[in-house]
Every structure is written in C-alpha cells, then in structure tokens.
C-alpha cells in the first residue's frame, strides 16, 4: 500500500540586524563642497559584510541641490546581498527624530554598476528644513543607519531536529560563580576571587606562563594582585570565562545619564590596561570599541594618551578623527589635560 505524505516544507530566512552611527562635526564647514561631492563614513561590518554610508551635503545631482542625500554602499566584494535599511537623524538626546526613511529589501551587488552597489535617498531631507530643525546643534548632528541583512535561507520540515545555539559560555560562567573545583585564589585590594588554573591558562598566555610555566614555583594557592582594582579584575575574570563583557558593555553606549557614561569609560580604560597586561587581545579590542563609541571633548585627551601608551592603533585613529574638526580641536585644546598630552607625547602634534 502506498501512503501519501502530508508533510510540508518551509523556507525560513535568517537575518542579522546592526546599526552604525555617522557623526558629522562642523556641518557648516562641510556644506558647500559642491553638488555630487560626497563624504564617506568609515567601513563598518553588519551581517558579515562591509558597508559605508555616503553623505552628499549639497545633493547627489543637480536635481537634488536643495536636499541632503544619503546612500548605503556595499564594500565587500560579493554579489546578491539582500538587505533592508533605515536611515534616521537622531535628536541631540539620541532619540530618533521624524527625519527618517526605511527601505524595503534591496539587492546589493558590489560587482555591478554604481546603482546596484548602493541604495539610498536622493531627497532625504530638504536642506532648509534640516538646518531649521533641532537635530542640528552646535554645528553637529548624528545619522544612524540600521541594516538588516538576510544571512541564510534554511529549509525546514516537521521531521527535522532543531539544535539550540551553543551555551558553553553560560556553563563556564556558572563554574566561575559556583567556585566548584577552583584551585587558585586571587587577592585583589582585600577582595578574594577563586578561579581555575586550567581555564586561565587556556585563555591567557601570561596566566599560562605564571601558573604552569617557569614561574609556577613562584605562585602558591593564593596570589596577590597589587596593581588592578577589584571590580576590574572581576570583569576580566567574567570575560575569561564567558568571552563577553559583563552587563555594563552590552549595548556599546551608556544611556543619557552622565554619571553612568563616565563610569563606563573609566571601567573600559582600566579593563583595557588589564587586558593588555594579560594578553587578552579580544577583550582589549572590545574595550577600544567601547571607548571609541563614547568619545567627547572632556575625555578624548585621556583616551588618546591611553591609546599611545598601550599601542591601540584603532583607538588612536578614532581619537584623531574626533579632533579633526577645527571647532572640536579648539575645545579640546582648552581642556586641562591637553598640555599634559603634549608634554607626555610631544610628537603627537604631527599626527593631529
């Protein structure tokens, strides 16, 4: 007997969404560069592909000379990337304004003509309306681009097995928190932290040398750390076991509360130093990224000095780009730390 199957097949699209902010400082200096003249953002990665934002302050052609134009450009050398995107000018408090556009799904082809490489809005906003809005303040504004990239098309049937994502990091965090099997104790500014030598050695070449290498005879079951603060050491241990930052760094930016933002920057600076000491390269880059996203006039000098001291090339480049505007540089030069920067790193002026 032949039985007809009623089994159905579904096609599920998996997507990844991310966002990137383009901060324009010194808008009055950029305006007037000419029709069809554009400014590019730095390259950023979303959905495994590299992108750039293109900004035409005087319009992208003669028909749009009274408008601001924005486009999204695919930089990766690939074809047929399906993505939808939204472009929004933020208010000064970081909340999205009504100056916003959202696209349907588009197909990007880097090997094609200019049109297929980039999609955007020729008449994003009328220049006169934008300049009269509260989005432009102190000659600066921020554009946020949110991109959703279709990363995978998966065929499913009722008889397939769904495999959950890996939760290995959660198990290791519970191991750290439970202290089961811990065989080394760190005393940091009077606070004790229990950990597992094998985990530390697997994650850090420095810990491996100290705990299992030629220096192992120096260490007993208890190790005292003198030059790291306890909250910083706790965050570093959390990263070692979870490969992620604790809650303070989940969103990349602190909220509008100045105190919390300042606390985030200070933690990121101290954690970067600890990561550099213990050769935790991924943690170091994550701290660089946090600091890049939280630069302002009052902190860029201390961040630049840290980047010089710890050889953080990307962080240094971000600080220099932030100071590139004459308006911003003038404000930075009036801060208390600027003279210390020149005294500590006299050759920095040639970079600025």
Say which CATH architecture domain 10-155 belongs to: Sandwich (2.60)
Q: Is the dihedral of CA 342, 348, 350, 352 positive or negative?
A: negative
pTM across the whole model: 0.58
- Tens of pLDDT, residue by residue over 177-206, are 999 999 999 999 999 999 999 999 999 999
Confidence band for 318, pLDDT divided at 50, 70 and 90: very high
Q: 119-130: per-residue pLDDT in tens?
A: 999 999 999 999
Q: For all residues of the chain together, what is the average pLDDT?
A: 87
In 3-state terms, what secondary structure has residue 84? strand
| 192 three-state secondary structure | strand
Considering the chain, what percentage of its residues have pLDDT values greater than 90?
58
Q: Which residues in the chain belong to E strands, given as ranges?
A: 10-25, 39-40, 44-46, 49-56, 67-74, 81-90, 96-102, 106-108, 118-126, 140-156, 184-188, 191-195, 222-225
Distance CA 13, CA 10 (A): 10
pLDDT at 11 over 70: no
pLDDT 10s digits, 146-174: 999 988 766 666 666 778 889 999 999 99
Q: State the distance between the two ends of the chain, measured CA to CA, in whole angstroms.
A: 82
Q: Is the pLDDT of residue 23 over 70?
A: yes
Structure tokens at 210: 């100290």
HSE-CB at 44 with a 13 A cutoff on CA atoms is 20
CATH superfamily of 168-294: Potassium Channel Kv1.1; Chain A (3.30.710.10)
Write down the domain spans for the chain.
10-155, 168-294, 298-352
8 A C-beta contact, residue 252 and residue 289: yes
What is the DSSP track for 200-269? Answer: HHHH-HHHHHHHHSTTGGG--SEEEE-SS-HHHHHHHHHHHHHSS--GGGSSSS--S-HHHHHHHHHHHH
What pLDDT does 250 receive? 47
């Amino acid at each position: 007997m032949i039985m007809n199957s009623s089994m159905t097949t579904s096609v599920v699209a998996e997507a990844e969404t991310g966002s990137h902010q383009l901060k324009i400082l010194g808008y009055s200096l950029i305006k007037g560069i000419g029709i069809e003249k554009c400014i590019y953002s730095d390259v950023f990665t979303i959905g495994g592909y590299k992108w750039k934002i293109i900004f035409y302050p005087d319009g992208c052609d003669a028909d749009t000379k009274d408008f601001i134009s924005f486009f999204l450009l695919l930089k990766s050398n690939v074809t047929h990337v399906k993505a939808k995107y939204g472009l929004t000018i933020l208010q000064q408090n970081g909340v999205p304004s009504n100056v916003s556009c959202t696209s349907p799904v588009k197909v990007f082809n880097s090997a094609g003509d200019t049109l297929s490489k980039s999609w955007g809005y020729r008449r994003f906003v009328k220049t006169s309306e934008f300049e009269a809005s509260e989005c432009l303040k102190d000659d600066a504004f921020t554009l946020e681009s949110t991109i959703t990239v279709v990363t995978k098309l998966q065929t499913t049937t009722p008889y397939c097995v769904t495999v959950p994502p890996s939760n290995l990091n959660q198990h290791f965090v519970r191991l750290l928190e439970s202290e089961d099997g811990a065989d080394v104790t760190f005393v940091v500014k009077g606070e004790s932290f229990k950990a597992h030598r094998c985990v530390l050695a697997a994650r850090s070449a420095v810990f491996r040398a100290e705990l299992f290498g030629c220096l192992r005879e120096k260490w007993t079951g208890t190790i005292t750390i003198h030059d790291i603060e306890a909250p910083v050491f706790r965050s570093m241990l959390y990263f070692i076991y979870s490969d992620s930052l604790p809650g303070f760094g989940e969103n990349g930016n602190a909220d509008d509360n100045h105190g919390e933002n300042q606390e985030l920057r200070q933690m990121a600076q101290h954690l970067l130093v600890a990561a550099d000491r213990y050769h935790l390269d991924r943690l170091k880059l994550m701290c660089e990224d946090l600091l890049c996203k939280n630069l302002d006039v009052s902190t860029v000098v201390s961040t630049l000095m840290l980047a010089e001291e710890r050889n953080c090339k990307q962080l240094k480049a971000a600080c220099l780009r932030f100071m590139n505007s004459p308006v911003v540089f003038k404000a930075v030069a009036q801060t208390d730390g600027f003279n210390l920067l020149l005294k500590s790193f006299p050759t920095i002026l040639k970079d600025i």
